[in-house]
Structures are given as C-alpha cells and as structure tokens.
Amino acid sequence: MIIGRLVSLLGQRLAATVVALWVIVIATVTAVADALPDSTWVAIKPLPHHARTAVFALAVDPSNNQFIVAGNSEGSLLRSTTGGTTWTAVHSGKATITTVAYSPFTSGLVLAGTRASGALVSRDAGGTWSSTQGLEGRTVRVFAFALTLVAAGTDHGVYVSPDGLSWSPSGLSNRSIDALAVEAIHSPVHLVAGSDSQASSGTLPLYQSVDGGASWTQFNPPISGSIVVKLAAGPLPPTGNVRPLVVGTNTGLFESNDNGSTFTPLSGGALLPTTDYTQVSFVTDHFDHFYIASDGGGSKSGGLWRTNDGGQSFVSLRPPQASVTALAVSNDEQPTVYVATFQPSTHVASLWTLHDTGAIPQGPAASESPVASGGRTSRSGGDSIFSQILGAPQLPYVGLGLGALAVVLTAVVAHLRGRYR
C-alpha cells in the first residue's frame, strides 16, 4: 500500500516535471523561431489604421530592443513590445505626430512631438501618455537630451525642460528650428540648432549655445544646402573631450570633430550620393559607428548606410525600398535596426527590421543608389555550417532547449528503471 502510494507520488512528480520542462522546450523553440535572422531584412507588421502617408516618427527603447514607439499622420501613437510583430494604440489624437524620442539618460522617458499641438510625454517607456505644459500650439520637430536638460526644436525657437514635463522658451524665437543636438551632456550643456537659410544671406545658419540655451550665437559653416535637416552628436572618443557632430542638409552630409569650427564633407565623390540626409543615429559608446539614411527627396538616391570608421568609408545596408523616412537603432553591439520606407508611386508606407551583424544584408533589396558605397568586407560565403551555428545569436536558446530535453529524457529513464527493479 505504502509502496503503491510512493510510486504514484513519484509518477505525479515526474509528470509535473515533464510538463514543466516540455513548456520550457516549447518556449525555447518559439524564441528561436521568432529571433531575427542575422543581417536579413524582415518586414514587420504595418501600423494599424495608418493612412497612405509616410511614417516619420519611430523610436526604439535604449534598454530593450523589442520596445518600439511609432506615430502616424492621424495623430496616434502605437507601441510594440514584440519588435513590431504586434502593435497597441497607446494614444489617440488629431495632430500629426512629427517625432518620437526615448531619453538615453532617464529610464522610461519618451517624448513625442506634434504638428501645432505641442508635445506628449510618457514616463513608462511609452505605455501611457499625457500632454506637456509650455509647448501648447507649437510644432515640435525634434528633441535632444542632456543629463539634466531636455531641449526641443519648434517652429518658434528652442524650448528647454528639466524633466520633459514642463517647458520654457530659451531663445531663437524668430527662427523655425528643424534640427537640434547636444554637444556636451554635462553642465554647462552645449546645444547646436539648425534652421532654414534666410533668402537675404543664402548661407546655412547654425546656432550654438554653451550655457544650456540661455544665450545663442550664430555661425555659418561653408557647407552646402539651404535647410539643416538633421543634427546628431556622437559619444566621446576614447581620447579628447569633443563629441563628433554630424550635419545632414538637403544636399549632403558633413562631419565636424572640433565643435563646428570646420566640417568635412562625407557625401559626394565615391562615398555617398549627393542627396538629402534626414536620419543620423550613433551606436551608443561608439563615436565612430553610426547609421545615416535618406528618403531621396523624391528621387531614387535614398537609402541606408553604415560607417564603422567615423565616416571614412560607408557600406550600403540595401533597404527593401530606397526611400527611408524614419530610422531607429537599438543600443546593442550588434544593433537591431528599424526603418520606415515609403513608395511615392503607390503611397505605401512599410516597416522593416534588420539584425545588423556586419555582413552584407540579405532579403528584398532596393535598386542601388547612383553611387555605390563600400569599405567593409562582408562575411565569407564559405563559412561552414558549424561556424554559422556557433556564431548565431540563437545559440543560447538552442542550448537551453537541448538541456531541458536532456533532463526530461533522463527523468523518464530513471523512473522506468525504478519501476522495474
């Protein structure tokens, strides 16, 4: 009797163990199936109820490469916690969403700009949203973050905030600010703002503040273009205290390594096509590793490129469609890249993702830009299957699944041997 109960109890425990471990195996297989393949473009789910307009607002959480926030022309904010396989509406409005940005310094802080209706703020990584104070009626095009300050570029100058919730004007109220970057994140915060050129001067104006926006000075670098479309400052290099500053205009891409005193053209010649550059994104902790993108300005010269040597050479990432309207890059050594593309002829906006391991991307590729870009060798096509498996990011999950399966089989064998002794 006692032996029978003991056998029954052992059987129940074994069954429970088998079920639990089988769940782990299934979860592991699912994780492997859902993991992005290396250096391969994958289409992700379109934004629900999105009109036939381009997507310009897209951001990825610095602490989780599966968390994405996107905004559409209908005034809605949508969030995905699954890398874009599913979307949830987290805010509904009437004003077009112009930009979305996560703070790299304050966990959970996300800001969204609108056209003529100010800004929205989230303190829980994009789950819930509320209106900010002080930006009512403003068109907010860009945000930039320092350790103790957040800045916003608007149609009436630059605004600053200590926390992203309440805002006050800081200058340049007579200028429409299209681009903004933080050159020094510690106090006193250094800011750079870009605008459209004035018809009377014809020069491209940039503005600099070395006191957190309290005062501004104008400088006119000899770079081409009539609109500063994008400004981005990278992390500090290993030596020195000057962050690289990249400027995208409506006719080219330029870089400064001396706080804007001089600029080196990165586009034209054999590096990059001469076109508008609307997106620049640095990889955290790598001053010389950044991505740049262009929608082509209505031409076929748009695309997406990466440099690993501070702009000395570029490689095309061959996005599925040439016109890239939004770019978000995760905070990983091998980043997950999210892009929005737009097909002008069909007015179809699409979303794509790429796990960029450094190899030449595979998948549906757009036609090449007028200038072929190079400078980085791809992974050899002759790699063995064994080396590919060892280099795959899914390897830990495969190991976990095989380990769980081994435990299940060992338990079954031990139980059977115990019963027939």
- Burial string for 109-120 (b: 16+ CB within 10 Å, else e) reads bbbbbbbebbbb
Q: How far, in whole angstroms, is CA 202 from its chain's centroid?
A: 33
Give the pLDDT confidence score for residue 36 in this predicted structure. 79
Structure token digits, residue 160: 């600053």
Please check whether residue 93 lies inside any domain of the structure: yes
Cα within 13 Å of Cα(174), Cβ side:
3
Give the pLDDT confidence score for residue 193 in this predicted structure. 97
Q: Are residues 160 and 144 in the same domain?
A: yes
Q: Are residues 187 and 286 in the same domain?
A: yes
Is 306 buried (19+), middle (13-18) or exposed (0-12) by CB count in 10 A?
Answer: buried
Q: Collect all residues with Cβ–Cβ distance below 8 Å to 363 and sequence separation of at least 6.
A: 40, 41, 42, 320
Position 404 confidence tier, pLDDT thresholds 50, 70, 90: low
For the cut 80, the answer to whether the pLDDT of residue 359 exceeds it is: yes
Please check whether residue 144 lies inside any domain of the structure: yes
Q: Are residues 50 and 102 in the same domain?
A: yes
Residue keyed to tokens 């050594």: 333
Across the range 127-131, mean pLDDT stands at 97
Position 198 confidence tier, pLDDT thresholds 50, 70, 90: low
Q: Are residues 412 and 349 in the same domain?
A: no
Q: Which of 107-116, 293-302, 369-378 comes out lowest in average pLDDT?
A: 369-378
Give the pLDDT confidence score for residue 31 in this predicted structure. 40
Give the pLDDT confidence score for residue 26 in this predicted structure. 40
Q: Are residues 149 and 296 in the same domain?
A: yes
Please check whether residue 385 lies inside any domain of the structure: no
| Per-chain mean pLDDT for the chain | 83
Please give the residue that has the higher pLDDT: either 1 or 313.
Answer: 313
CATH of the domain at 192: 2.130.10.10
Q: What are phi and psi of 407, to 5 degrees?
A: -65, -40
Across the range 111-130, mean pLDDT stands at 97
For the cut 60, the answer to whether the pLDDT of residue 419 exceeds it is: no
Q: For the CA atoms of 25, 363, 346, 352, what is the dihedral angle to 10 degrees?
A: 50
Q: Are residues 208 and 234 in the same domain?
A: yes
Position 411 confidence tier, pLDDT thresholds 50, 70, 90: low
Number of domains in the chain: 2
Please give the residue that has the higher pLDDT: either 214 or 49.
Answer: 214
Residue 135: how many CB atoms within 10 A of its CB?
Answer: 25
Q: Are residues 152 and 6 in the same domain?
A: no
Across the range 348-359, mean pLDDT stands at 95
What percent of the chain is modeled with pLDDT above 70? 76
Please check whether residue 183 lies inside any domain of the structure: yes
Across the range 157-167, mean pLDDT stands at 97
Q: Are residues 315 and 223 in the same domain?
A: yes
For the cut 80, the answer to whether the pLDDT of residue 316 exceeds it is: yes
Please check whether residue 371 lies inside any domain of the structure: no
Please give the residue that has the higher pLDDT: either 346 or 95.
Answer: 95
The pLDDT tens digits for 4-43 are 443 454 455 544 444 344 434 444 433 433 477 899 999 9
Position 292 confidence tier, pLDDT thresholds 50, 70, 90: very high
For the cut 90, the answer to whether the pLDDT of residue 203 exceeds it is: no
Please check whether residue 130 lies inside any domain of the structure: yes
Q: Are residues 196 and 79 in the same domain?
A: yes
The pLDDT tens digits for 169-194 are 999 999 999 999 999 999 999 999 99
What percent of the chain is modeled with pLDDT above 90? 65
DSSP string across 319-384: -SSS-EEEEEE-SSSS-EEEEEEEETTTTEEEEEEEE--SSPPBSS-PPPPSS-----PPPPTT--
Q: Are residues 46 and 27 in the same domain?
A: no
Across the range 257-282, mean pLDDT stands at 92
Q: Which of 108-122, 161-175, 274-288, 402-416 comes out lowest in average pLDDT?
A: 402-416
For the cut 70, the answer to whether the pLDDT of residue 293 exceeds it is: yes
Full-model pTM: 0.80
Candidate ranges 136-145, 215-224, 279-288, 344-353; pick with highest mean pLDDT: 136-145
Q: Sheet with 110-114: list strands edge to edge.
A: 97-102, 110-114, 119-122, 130-131
Across the range 356-361, mean pLDDT stands at 94
For the cut 60, the answer to whether the pLDDT of residue 384 exceeds it is: no
Across the range 115-121, mean pLDDT stands at 98
Helix (H) or strand (E) segment spanning residue 390: helix 385-391
Q: Are residues 52 and 22 in the same domain?
A: no
Please check whether residue 201 lies inside any domain of the structure: yes
What domain range includes position 72? 42-355
Q: Which of 24-33, 229-238, 360-369 comes out lowest in average pLDDT?
A: 24-33
Q: Are residues 82 and 16 in the same domain?
A: no
Please give the residue that has the higher pLDDT: either 389 or 141.
Answer: 141
Give the pLDDT confidence score for residue 11 in this predicted structure. 53
Is 286 buried (19+), middle (13-18) or exposed (0-12) by CB count in 10 A?
Answer: middle
Give the pLDDT confidence score for residue 389 in this predicted structure. 39
Please check whether residue 315 lies inside any domain of the structure: yes
